[in-house]
Copies of this chain bind each other. A is one copy, B any other.
Amino acid sequence: MQSRHPASRTGRPRSAAADTAILAATRQALVDLGWSKLTLSDVAVRAGVAKTTLYRRWAGKNELVVDAVAELFDELTLPDRGSLAADIEGVVLQFAAILARPEARSGLMAVVAEATRDEALRERIRASIVDRQKRLVIAGRTRAQERGELPPETDAERSARAVDLIFDMVAGSVVHRTLVSNQPADEEWVHGLTRVLLSGLAASAR
C-alpha cells in the first residue's frame, strides 16, 4: 500500500513505527472492547503513543477503524483452484475467515453503519475495502472465461451490472450469514451458496 500520509519536506519526519503500532492497537481494542466502547485515548495508550499523534494522522475514530480493518483484507488472494466454482469457494472461505475474526466483526459493520450518514466515509470504505474485493470477482471471471467456463463478455454495461450483482450477492450473503445470522460460513454452506449462485447465473444468462 502506498503511504497513507503526504510527505513533508521539512521538520521532524513522522514515525513510521507509530502507524503500525496504532493500527495494531486499534485492532486489538476492537477485539477487547468493540467499536462503540473503543476510545482513541485507549488506542493511544495501547500503542504507546500520544493522543495528539493519533489525531495528527487520522480525522477520527471512523477513519482509523476503516484503515485498521482494511489491512485485514490485504491477505485475500485468488489461487487457481482449477474451476470457477472452486475459485469462488476458495475466496469466499477466505473472506468468511476474516469476518469470523472479532476485530473485523466489530469494526466492519460499525463503520458501514456510520457510513450511511457520511459520504466521505463511504468513499473511504469503498476505496480501501470494497473495491479491492471487487477486483477478485473480475479476476475470477476473467480466469473462468480463459478456461471457457464463461463466455467472453461483450456488453460492457451489462457486464458491470453482473459484476455488481454477483458482488453484492456474495459479500452480502457471507456478511449476513456471519454477522446477522451468526452462523459459521463453513465449507458446506459456502458450497451451497456457490452452487446456487453459479447455476442461477448460468440459467439466467440464457
Identify the A interface with B (CB < 8 A). Answer: 34-36, 102, 105-106, 108-110, 112-117, 122, 125, 130, 161, 164-165, 167-169, 171-177, 179-183, 189, 192-193, 195-204
Contacts and interface: CB of A to CB of B under 8 A. Distances in A.
Given A109-B112, A113-B179, A169-B193, 9 more contacts: A36-B114, A105-B116, A106-B113, A113-B113, A130-B181, A168-B181, A196-B200, A196-B201, A203-B203
A35 B195 CA distance: 37
8 contacts: A34-B117, A102-B117, A105-B116, A165-B189, A169-B169, A172-B173, A200-B200, A202-B203
Nearest to A36: B114
Contacts of A36: 36, 113-114
Main secondary structure of the interface of A (DSSP, over half): helix
A200 B198 CA distance: 7
Contacts of A203: 199-200, 202-203
Contacts of A168: 173, 176-177, 180-181
B196 A169 contact: yes
A116 B102 contact: yes
A172 B176 contact: yes
Contacts of A130: 180-181
A182 B122 contact: yes
Contact of A165 (B114, B193, B201): B193
Contacts of A179: 112-113, 115-116
A116 B122 CA distance: 21
Q: Which 4 A-B pairs have the closest CB atoms?
A: A200-B200, A172-B176, A199-B203, A109-B113
- Most B CB contacts (10 A, CB to CB) among A102, A161, A196 go to A196
A109 B175 CA distance: 11
Nearest to A117: B34
